[in-house]
Amino acid sequence: MTQTDENLTGVAALLNPKTDYYQVFADVDGEDLEWWQKAREFMEWARPSLNESWEKAEYNIPAVEEAARRGLVTDGIEIDGQPGISIRANRLIQMELARTDASTATAHIVQSGLAMRSISECGSEDQKAKYLGPMSRMEIRGGFALTEPDHGSDSIGLETSARREGDEWVINGEKKWIGHGSVGHITVVWARDEEDGEVKGFIVDQDQEGYSAETITGKASLRGIPQAHIKLNDVRVSDDRRLPNSHTFRDTARVLTGTRIAVAWVALGMAIDCYEKALDYAQLRVQFGRPLVKNQIIQQRLADMLQDVTSMALYCRRLLELEEAGELNEKQAALAKVHNTRGARKISADARDMFGGVGILLENDVARHHADIESLHTYEGTDTMQSLIVGKSITGVSAYRS
């Protein structure tokens, strides 16, 4: 057997060739393949508890702690004491987590892609040394507080304020839809400096006086990870809690670009699972005396789903090449986020429909994916806003600012 054949065998164990129709990921090998396998093994370990946590809207903290013990919570950031993970391995991990559960994948993005990445990109060396190691081990859970009750798509217009008083900053405002905001230890809060009007980041302890957070209830999507409505009332933080390399909203946006890439990969993972589950069910389910797959309409729908999965995979592969080369920009990330969440939305709806009545049962997973993709379609920038970012880049005209 040639080395290429051996490699294809390894990837095929993780991704069905009937799914990776164009062998988009056939060249994944070495440590990247090992990390992909570790993510698969972790999700197989976590799977028995996922639907129960989702149904009860409970955060499965032991599961995310186990992910950290396996070295999966780093976002590829270089951290003392943690093994290095390449950009490619990190994106494959995100895809694989979401292939089983979007709530787990979102917890991973919140912790490593948002909170840890903010400290890594904008923090001081002392802040990195203090927080990144414990956060990668989930000893410290972190939130990322940008979105506000009145500023979602236009988060650049955030109203939370930070006022300098001697060696302290006084923060006032509200944040909403903040992952880990009520069940963590620290929150990276983005606030506007009253002196110069620029957006800056601050590390705030969640047990600090003036910080109050209420878990948002009644969610029909991403029920396996809590989001919070946070109120900040004269919260005082010392200047060493300010992220010194966050000077303007552009620094915040740089962190968000990475997570928009992650959402494209997460959407791909969810779409793959829905497609594969639909294919398996159609082969086993017998109606009117024959398997569903013998019906022309079912074969056409499966082929349509495969077209979308393949397109999404090609988007991710090209994103990966650009990211590895250091050439990826926010407009390219926006296009991929729109394309892949739309594709996953369509595929999950088709899969749920093909399952018929049992498609609404959590045990078949597709209903959970179908509900969860609605959150991905919205967070990290809505479908409309990402489209307008792309629209501005190709027309030179802004349609979302006066």
Superfamily of domain 142-247 in the CATH hierarchy: Butyryl-CoA Dehydrogenase, subunit A, domain 2 (2.40.110.10)
Q: Which residues contact 87 (CB under 8 A, 6 or more apart)?
A: 76, 320, 323, 324
**pLDDT recorded at residue 3:** 42
**Of the candidates 324, 390, 291, 244, which has an alpha carbon nearest to the alpha carbon of residue 76?**
324
**pLDDT recorded at residue 401:** 65
**pLDDT recorded at residue 402:** 54
Q: Would you list the domain boundaries of the chain?
A: 10-137, 142-247, 250-395
**Of the candidates 255, 277, 271, 347, which has an alpha carbon nearest to the alpha carbon of residue 316?**
271
Write out the chain's pLDDT in tens, 402 residues. 334 444 545 787 888 888 999 999 999 999 999 999 999 999 999 999 999 999 999 999 999 999 999 999 999 999 988 989 999 999 999 999 999 999 999 999 999 999 999 999 999 999 999 999 999 999 999 999 999 998 877 777 889 999 999 999 999 999 999 999 999 999 999 999 999 999 999 999 999 999 999 999 999 999 999 999 999 999 999 999 999 999 999 999 889 888 889 999 999 999 999 999 999 999 999 889 899 999 999 999 999 999 999 999 999 999 999 999 999 998 999 999 999 999 999 999 999 999 999 999 999 999 999 999 999 988 877 888 888 888 889 998 988 765
Distance CA 238, CA 391 (A): 41
**What does the DSSP 8-state code read for residue 361?**
S
pTM of the shown model: 0.94
- Joined together, the tokens standing for residue 324 give 């590895």
**pLDDT recorded at residue 9:** 58
**pLDDT recorded at residue 182:** 96
247 by Cβ neighbours in 10 Å (0-12 / 13-18 / 19+) ranks as middle
Distance CA 18, CA 13 (A): 12
Side-chain half-sphere CA neighbours of 305 within 13 A? 29
Q: Which run of H or E residues covers position 148?
A: none
**pLDDT recorded at residue 11:** 81
Distance CA 229, CA 232 (A): 10
Distance CA 139, CA 327 (A): 34
3-class state of residue 86 by DSSP? coil
10-137 topology per CATH: Butyryl-Coa Dehydrogenase, subunit A; domain 1 (1.10.540)
Phi, psi of 353 (to 5 degrees): -70, -40
**Does 10-137 match 250-395 in CATH topology?**
no
Distance CA 387, CA 265 (A): 18
The CATH number of domain 250-395, selected from 3.40.50.970, 1.10.10.10, 3.40.190.10, 1.20.140.10: 1.20.140.10
